[in-house]
Amino acid sequence: MFICNHCPFVKHLKKDIVKLSNFYLKKGLAVVAISSNSVATHPQDGPEFMEEEAKLFKYPFPYLYLYDESQDVARDFGAVCTPEIFVIQKGWSKAL
């Protein structure tokens, strides 16, 4: 999923993001969250604040809350807003 710390929609859904993540983790799926926002325009979306956010909201994916500094991953997935969630089928591959 593509999320960030400052987005009002993500802020509103943080508890639900945790619930959804826990639901899928219990089913054996992996959960990864990525922030692709520029720290030049949104410093609160940077890695050091992402770590604080993961602890504060008890994200079940604290080591898989990743920062996409170049925004290449977001572009490759076609992610244009937050939150944006992708469910990837086992065996799926895409040359990124």
Residue 28: per-residue pLDDT: 87
Separation of alpha carbons 67 and 46, rounded Å = 7
CA nearest neighbour of 14 among 71, 72, 54, 67 = 54
Whole-number pLDDT of residue 93: 65
Residues of the chain falling short of pLDDT 70: 92-96
Look at the block and give the residue holding tokens 């898989």: 64
Position 94 scores a pLDDT of 62
Burial (CB count <10 Å: 0-12, 13-18, 19+), residue 3: buried
Q: In which element (H, E) is residue 66 found?
A: strand 65-67
Alpha-carbon distance of 27 to 83, in angstroms, equals 22
